[in-house]
Every structure is written in C-alpha cells, then in structure tokens.
Amino acid sequence: MGLVTLHTQALRASAVDPYLKLLHRGLRAARLNNAFPDRRRLQASLDALRRAMDHGLYEELYLDSRTGLPNMATLTRVLTDQEIAPESLKKMPSREELVAREHQAEVFAQLLQKYDYYTYVGDKALAPVDTHRTLLRRHIPEKGEAAFRIEMTKLDGSGVYMHLVIELSQVSSLWRRAMIDLDEDGETAAADEAFRTLVYRCAHLDAETIFVRLHGIEGVHVERVTRGVIGPVIFWLPTTDGTRYTMELTDPRLAQGFAVWRGAASGKLQSPQMLLTCASDFAAIDVREERSNDPLSPLLSTTLQDSERPRYQDIRTRYPFRVFKDRKFVATKGLKPLAKEIMQAAGTRNLVYDLR
C-alpha cells in the first residue's frame, strides 16, 4: 500500500492490533535504561491508541514510513484526547446509564466506548511529543559554579523517538551571559531560551557533535552527552487482502537488507514480524574506549573526508572526550536473520533480544 501523505503510512483494521502489540512487547524486551525515552510512557500511548482503535474512535493509525513508529499526528491524538477527556466525561451520562441504554440506540453504544476510553486515558502518563527539563546537580556559590543536567525527549523530525541527556557545568561571571539560570535560593535551574533552543535544534545530531557544539560556548564545560534513540522499526504484517506496507528506510543497509529479506521470506511467513532497533550514543570525558558498536552508525572519524580530518583532529585535541555508540535489536524469529546480517556486514556484536 502506498503512502497517504509525506512520510506517512496508514495502518488499517486488522494490521493495527498486531503492530501495536508487537511494538509494545518489543519496547519491554529491549530493556531500555534511562538513557532512552521512558518506554512506559510510550507503551501507555500505544495502549491508549489500541483502545481508541478497538473502541472505534479512529479508523487509521498513522506511522512515519521512515522509522515505522507512530508519527506526530498519532501521538498528538492521544494527548489531546487526554486533555479533553475530563470535560467530555462531565457532559456524558453515567456509565451505568450508558450500559443500560447501550442497546437502545447506536449513539449510546458509541458513547459507552468513548466513556471507557476517556476514563482509561485520563490518568495515564503518555508519551510527550516534546518535553524538556533542566535539573541542578550541584552548586558551589563561592566558585560561581553550578552543574546541570538537561533532559529532553523529542519526537524528532526524522521520525525517531529520542531522549537526550546533557551533563554540563557552567561558571558564571559578571560579564558573561548565563545559559542556565538558578533561582534566588540556588535550588532550581532553568535554561535560557536561546540555550534551550540550541539544544532542541541540535538534538538530531549525534552525541559527539552536540558535545563539541555546546563545549564551545564560553563558560560551559560539557561532561557527558547521552542520546537514546528508539527506532527505526521494521515490520511485516500479513494481511488477508494482500496489502503491503511501504517503508522509506533512510539507512541504506537497513533498507537493502529489508528489501532482500522481504523478497525471500515474507511469502513463507504467516505471523507478523518486527525488528525494533534502539541506539545509544555517548560522548563523555569518562568513556574508556572510543568505539562504535552500532552497525548503522559508524564513528564520525571514520567517515570524514581527508580535507576535514586536520580540523577534526584539532577539535578533538581541545576537547578530551571519547565516543561510544551502540545499538540493540529486538526481533521476532523471522526477522532475526536480518539483524544478524546487518551486524555481520558491519563487524559489530550487538544484543539481539527475542520478540515473542
């Protein structure tokens, strides 16, 4: 099936449930630590979506065809549903009344479905499209120094769902403009809008680039940049009407591997298949070994043109940090060979969890 609009795949009817269930299970199986977006919130959004579809509130589920993840419209749906739920519930008859009248008319059956969905979604911590906070780690007033932790979760424009953590310290001075402000008691911190925007805009870059970009700001010392990225997700869903879902995978290794796999294996498989990839990317002064164990993302140093290499070396000398990249896979039995092929081609050894 083709795309419904730019980078947008619509899942319909019988394909929705297996997709949501597999992704939900995949997130749990991936054993994501706090470098990644909160998987429970993402799972809560998936559960809410499943309920909304089951209850007939939506007919289609929109995914980003580049990453196979729910797109902005989809994640926003449940968030806005949650916002309007309290007011809507107030206006509805009681559940008992709706149950009693369920068979009297279609409208009451629909309202009952909506009532249950709104009640369910009401108090759930759902996945935000964007969220950002700045935390104070330590404050040494006599030195004018404070250390912060910036956390950002973002549905990135590339379609992946990511979490960025930056640990940095800032030395204030009278003439220098502070990027992060402390409150009067020196207990809480808030990032300056410009700095916040800088982080937001840079979030799609790898940890190494973010480290260099922020470390270059006067008075700022970056200690660690961590990026945890959920996606892309490859899936194959058997449908009774022969629908084939289009994916626009941006990574050529993944795209090619999936195309070959689909040609060879899909006809033989009866059950839905999914390959979830979760990447982590660290740039920090305390990383022991610089290495990329991510088969889809080599180190910047290995991809530079010769002309750029001297400038890069100079930067690296000035900023003594190391980079470590990794990626883990969660795969159903049918797609496990693809994960192995990708690792083999890149010469990496990655964790591959079973997705059952």
Partner 1 sequence: MPALPLSMRLLGHRDRWLFSAPKNRRKSLEFVSPFAPMSGSKVNLDVLNRDVAYSGEGISVKSLETDIRSEREVQDSKVGELKQLRDRNVNIQTAMADELKKLRKFSDYLNGTATKGGVWSGIKEVLSYIPGLSGLVLSQRSIEELLKQQYHVSARRVKDAAEYVDTLKQSEQELYEEINRINEKIVEMARNEREALNYVLELEKLQEQLKQEEQTLEAGSVEARDIQAQQDKVYAKLSEHSTNVQLYGSAEERYAMLKDNTRKLAETIRNLGQDIQQYTTAASIKLDMASAQIQAIGRAADASVVMLEMKKSLDVMTESMNVTTQFVSDTQVFFRSNLDTLLKELDTFDETTSQMLDENLKKSKEIEDARIAAAIQKAKAEQNEAAS
DSSP-derived letter for residue 331 is: E
Other beta carbons within 10 Å of 79? 16
Question: Hey, CA dihedral for 24, 29, 30, 35, is it positive or negative?
Answer: positive
Question: Hey, CA dihedral for 75, 294, 206, 222, is it positive or negative?
Answer: positive
For residue 159, the minimal CB distance to partner 1 (Å) is 8
For residue 310, the minimal CB distance to partner 1 (Å) is 26
285 scored as a contact of partner 1 (CB under 8 A)? no
40-69 positions binding partner 1, by CB under 8 A = 62, 64
Nearer to partner 1, 135 or 194 (CB): 194
Nearer to partner 1, 87 or 289 (CB): 87
Using the contact rule CB under 8 A, the part of the chain among 4-12, 29-37, 181-189, 254-262 near partner 1 is 4-12
Q: What are 311's two structure tokens? A: 């400038």
For residue 129, the minimal CB distance to partner 1 (Å) is 6
Number of residues that bind partner 1 (CB under 8 A): 40
33 scored as a contact of partner 1 (CB under 8 A)? no
**Would you list the DSSP string of 113-143?**
HHHHHHHHHHT--PPPSEEEEEEEEEEEGGG
Please pick, from the candidates 13, 35, 99, 129, the single residue that binds partner 1 as defined by CB under 8 A. Answer: 129
Chain mean position to CA 330? 15
Nearer to partner 1, 4 or 315 (CB): 4
201 scored as a contact of partner 1 (CB under 8 A)? yes
Nearer to partner 1, 28 or 95 (CB): 95
CA–CA distance, 287 with 281 (Å, rounded to integer): 11
Structure-token match 């968030």, residue found: 79
Which candidate, 331, 337, 335, places its Cα nearest to that of 354?
331
Say which residues have a Cβ less than 8 Å from residue 317's Cβ, sequence separation at least 6.
Answer: none
193 scored as a contact of partner 1 (CB under 8 A)? yes
What string marks each residue from 70 to 109 as x (binds partner 1 by CB under 8 A) or -? -xxx--xx-xxx-xx--xx--xxx----------xx-xx-
Nearer to partner 1, 76 or 271 (CB): 76
Q: Helix, strand or coil for residue 50? A: helix
Indicate the pairing of strand 161-171 with strand 220-236: antiparallel
First to last CA, the chain: 26
308 scored as a contact of partner 1 (CB under 8 A)? no
194 scored as a contact of partner 1 (CB under 8 A)? yes
Per CB under 8 A, residues contacting partner 1 are 4-8, 62, 64, 71-73, 76-77, 79-81, 83-84, 87-88, 91-93, 104-105, 107-108, 110-111, 114, 129-130, 155, 157-158, 193-194, 197, 200-201, 204
